[in-house]
Structure 1
Amino acid sequence: MLLAATVDAAIRTAEAIGKGGTLFICGNGGSAGEATHLSGELVGPFLNKTRRPLPAIALGFDTSALTAVANDFSFAEIFSRPLVALARPGDVLWALSTSGRSPNILRVIEAADACEVTSVLITGSRKEALPYRTDILLSVPSSETPRIQEIHLLLGHFLCEAVEALACDVATSMPPA
């Protein structure tokens, strides 16, 4: 099930990028670090050093916007407000959360749904029902944060490799400088 959902996430992300869409990635703490890491893998080269940069944005790294939203609204809005500001229907969101229950992750998934953005929640194992709807759930079969984060990075690298290969079938090289 995890493999099928991961392949689905890669295909849907590559299709969105192929149609001119953008990938948004977010997470808290270590997952925030993984969000920037994964966006860097797509904007920069991952394996294909000659491909065009792919549109990937890590949410939460504009410190002025982040602190203004957290101060004037709430920390729960730090990802959802930028997503609403920047996303278009057909874009994709990868939300990383070891618990799957962070209020700002819940809000960004709700915002993605309202904006017609495909949401992919990458989380740990949960025995109870998730309190929201996500389009694709990548649930790592562990409840230990270090193991979840390790598998998230593995899944993220797989997603980046697949998206890079699938999205770059049409335009595989950088335009001349």
Structure 2
Amino acid sequence: MKDFIHAELLEIAEHFKLLASYSGIIADAALHCRRALENNRKIMFCGNGGSAADSQHLAAELIGRYKLNRKAMNAIALTVDTSILTAVGNDYGYDTIFRRQVEGLGQEGDVLVGLSTSGNSENVVQAFLIARNMGISTIALTGQGGGKMKELADFCINVPSDATNHIQEMHIAVGHLICGLVEQGIYGHA
């Protein structure tokens, strides 16, 4: 068991070493989010399963706080309203659950962050398509290949792994980096 744990931790560490080469795109995405918030726009997050949980986690970091005590920032996870999710899913199909929310809540200049380990989650893809038509920029957090979202996103951070658990580990780290950079940029010393 110790050998397994040791090997897993070394593999995780190796993925994060490779992720360091993504510093430029992460910085660009964070600056884009910061500018949207400074212009009184919002950051919307969406994803399925573990990516839904990460969406909620990251929205909470912006609404609450990440490291600094400061005013709430305008962020929302499109994964939390069960009435909307079930009504839209039932009436229009599961593939539209985020698209309808972007259409109803989104404004030009907002940012939509979509998390999908494959990059092919159809409900996130559909949200990206409507966002593009509405002048809402998109940030994709995906696995190594990037999937369909890579082609649709303004910024694609397709982390260096094909294993779902490792992709999700890196997504939350990237999300934390973005939240920290946004928070510092608006309320700190960066």
Alignment-mate amino acid for residue 117 of structure 2: T
Paired position in structure 2 for 1:22: 42
Aligned partners of 2:44 and 2:113 also within 8 Å: yes
CA distance in 2, matches of 1:43, 1:127: 28
Greater share of residues in helix: 2
Paired position in structure 2 for 1:105: 124
What TM-score does the superposition give when structure 1 sets the normalisation length? 0.91
**Residue-by-residue CA offset, 1:84-129 (whole Å, 9 max, x unaligned):** 1011100001100000001101101101101111100000011877
User: Which of 1 and 2 has higher RCO (CA within 8 Å, sep 6+)?
Assistant: 1
Within 5 A, what are the aligned runs for 1:1-177?
2-49=22-69, 51-126=70-145, 132-168=151-187
The alignment of Structure 1 onto Structure 2 pairs a total of residues equal to: 169
Alignment-mate amino acid for residue 63 of structure 2: V
**Residue-by-residue CA offset, 1:105-157 (whole Å, 9 max, x unaligned):** 11011011011111000000118775742100001010000100000011010
CA distance in 2, matches of 1:129, 1:115: 19
Measured after TM superposition, the shift of residue 45 of structure 1 is: 1.2
CA distance in 1, matches of 2:176, 2:88: 30
CA distance in 2, matches of 1:129, 1:22: 24
Measured after TM superposition, the shift of residue 4 of structure 1 is: 1.3
What SS does the aligned partner of 1:11 have?
helix
Q: Which runs of 5+ in 2 are unaligned?
A: 1-20
Q: Structure 1 vs Structure 2: percent identity of aligned residues?
A: 37
